[in-house]
Chain A
């Protein structure tokens, strides 16, 4: 019995972290965001792909590494910790899982190889299935899609979009199709991109096995939620580390503010709240591949619980930094905002808790 990340997983995770610390420190990320520096962003993207980040979940028969979700979870922790301006979730987690479970042989061959060879990248629009907002929605009919989707993850700069209708059928849309319009949205989190997409009779390739089976979609969402939880977990870890370090340096009333119990207890509370989240997220990822009966409930609880914990940490860690925490100069807000958007993606905590209750027939 061993509960935790394996040596390989730790090693890969550390490599991702090291790469990001070397090539994407905060000032580089700021430059990418403020000056729209495409080359810098591409350097990061290419570097991570060179590490093999795009092939983690692709099965070996298609040439990928065929690793389990726990591996991807470890990677996601690093990406969150370093607020990486990189779209891991949709292209390299949710799309492969949806394709593996929902695609027919031909579809798998085409798309999975495309991801592996770095020719294809995917945006994901599942919001209308999870919790359709206002007048957003779309219909699949006769291999055409009509309507609009809000909050499509990573939709700019990708070759394909993966959409799920309200029945859980998954379709692939080619972004070169003239009958779609992608409108970039601006969220507080500038490290990743979100879009509204309008479809006017665009062509779709419906994933064959998703027509009769909702599992491909649900599995993709489960995986996505665990990966988002891991991203917030990593971001929270970084915030606690920053808060503790700052509290040891910053002096007021003649002593380090970290020696005051008011500050110390805030840090202890953050650490205590976060510590069980590592185990919960890893456990959920392990169940995803190994214990399917417990997997969906754990994915729900991992996402909603880590969302709650990291929200509180993003507040308290900012407070420990005092006025400086509130400034753009210090940049704490990048982590605060990343956590804020993760919380809403693929279902807010309240939405997911209702799902968790239903899973248990409550």
Chain B
């Protein structure tokens, strides 16, 4: 066990801190383009998000390992540096680089499987936030069983003609592009009939209908396609290889949704609330039942933080086996966060249920909002039940459920 990062990282950390100090209080002029974009401080320096992205790339604080020719920094991938950047940005309240499905999923996919033309056309603009992407995977009848998707793509006169419907499409309303799974080979077997297409959202025939979720805030969409026609070249990989292309990206899926350090920050915020809020004049932090529950959760979050250090270690030390430690993160992290946010609501009692712009609202209603938001994350991206199947079957080697006989 050795938790020191080494001297070169000490210097790097200093550099990052001085960068953060320089930009403390930075504030974006444009509206948040994605629900996952961090909220920024009001006041301080004014800058556009695209300018911010390009500053970060130039410093090597974003898109580190993406080649220069495609708009990245062109350095080596370095998980420790990434971690230092994330930690110091968060400590200093400096906005993180943009994230989102384009940056986190499409860019790595194009780098791995895209044509030269596609890389040149899309990567830099995506990194700078000039192209926002949405993901067209799920359909009303293809959720956990994604490969049963039915949206159809036919090749007619050198164009793909697309008909069908996608659902749970976050950010569709302000995206310029969609990466989309479409059934192009109806005769082929389930997984072999799918292609991975890139669809400009301005194309005629696309209709976006907002799908309001329980938070009344984040907002998904339904996207309908009626004879949507795009060039034949807008395909990543070959016809019928879309499932493999999509799975190549799944390994790139961001871990930030269940970031244990962010969860620990929430524990610390909760402690502050418990020192302030009172019941019958007594501070919550002094009431044993609440104290005990707080400590229970703090221990759990601490375990999750240690687990993520072990996952990080395996990235630096090839050969270290952390398969299970990685596999449980989505399930464990989303359930834990939901439990924590929900406990904070309990701590505040009736006040915890206040929402939107109600009088007496605490922390802008973030506890109630995130309590619900994380229920969405427990379900999205592979439900907890699907995660448990994966953990049991691939992690513990338990037998699969027998296939239902097709009628």
Contacts and interface: CB of A to CB of B under 8 A. Distances in A.
B398 A280 contact: no
B306 A280 contact: yes
Contacts of B292: 350, 353-354
Given A1-B6, A70-B1, A258-B398, A305 B300 contact: yes
Contacts of B389: 261, 264-265, 268
A286 interface: yes
B392 interface: yes
Interface stretch (A112-120, A269-277, A321-329): A269-277
Interface in A247-271: 247-248, 255-256, 258-261, 264-265, 267-269, 271
Interface in A301-347: 301-302, 304-305, 308
A264 B288 CA distance: 36
Contacts of A2: 1-2, 313, 316-317, 320
B296 A276 contact: no
Contacts of B399: 248, 255-256, 258-259
Contacts of B271: 362
A4 B400 CA distance: 31
B298 interface: yes
B91 to A, nearest CB: 18
Contacts of B392: 258, 264-265, 267-268, 271
Contacts of A5: 1
Nearest to B295: A353
A244 B396 contact: yes
Contacts of A279: 303, 306-307, 309-310, 325
Contacts of A267: 392, 396, 398
Nearest to B324: A275
Interface in B86-115: none
A167 to B, nearest CB: 25
A161 interface: no
Interface string A191-211: 000000000000000000000
Contacts of B285: 362
A256 B402 CA distance: 10
A308 B296 contact: yes
B398 A357 contact: no
Contact of B302 (A258, A282, A301, A350): A301
B303 A264 contact: no
Given A2-B1, A2-B317, A286-B1, A357 B401 contact: no
B28 interface: no
B331 interface: yes
Interface string B372-407: 000000000000010111011101111111100000
A347 B248 CA distance: 48
B1 A3 contact: yes
B334 to A, nearest CB: 12
Contact of B332 (A260, A261, A272): A272
Q: Which of B388, B397, B401 has the most CB of A within 10 A?
A: B388
A264 B388 contact: yes
Contacts of A259: 398-402
A298 B306 CA distance: 11
A244 B306 contact: no
Among the interface residues A1, A260, A300, which one has the most CB atoms of the partner chain B within 10 A? A1
Contacts of B132: none
A160 interface: no
B80 A277 contact: no
Contact of A271 (B5, B300, B391): B391
B340 to A, nearest CB: 14
A182 interface: no
A356 interface: yes
Given A4-B313, A301-B302, A271 B398 contact: no
Nearest to B398: A258
Nearest to A2: B2
Given A356-B299, A362-B285, A276 B397 contact: no
Contact of B388 (A265, A283, A353, A362): A265
A255 B400 CA distance: 11
B328 interface: yes
A6 interface: yes
A265 B396 CA distance: 11
A6 B389 CA distance: 32
Nearest to B291: A357
A331 to B, nearest CB: 22
A290 B2 CA distance: 10
A276 B402 CA distance: 31
Contacts of B320: 2, 4
Interface in B210-256: none
A268 B332 CA distance: 11
Contacts of B303: 276-277, 279-280, 301, 305
A278 B401 CA distance: 30
A31 to B, nearest CB: 32
Given A280-B302, A301-B299, A1 B313 contact: yes
B294 interface: yes
Given A1-B5, A283-B306, A271 B396 contact: yes
Most buried by B among A3, A6, A264: A3
B3 A276 contact: no
A69 B38 CA distance: 41
Contacts of B6: 1
B295 A304 contact: yes
Contacts of B328: 271-272, 275-276
Given A255-B402, A258-B399, 20 more contacts: A1-B80, A2-B1, A2-B316, A3-B1, A6-B1, A244-B398, A261-B388, A264-B389, A264-B392, A268-B391, A276-B300, A276-B303, A280-B302, A304-B299, A305-B302, A305-B303, A353-B292, A354-B295, A356-B295, A362-B271
- Those 9 A-B pairs whose CB atoms lie nearest each other, nearest first: A279-B306, A3-B313, A268-B388, A301-B299, A353-B295, A276-B303, A276-B307, A305-B299, A280-B303
22 contacts: A1-B5, A2-B316, A3-B1, A4-B320, A240-B396, A247-B398, A248-B399, A256-B399, A258-B399, A259-B399, A259-B400, A264-B398, A265-B385, A268-B396, A275-B307, A279-B306, A279-B309, A290-B3, A301-B295, A353-B296, A362-B271, A362-B285
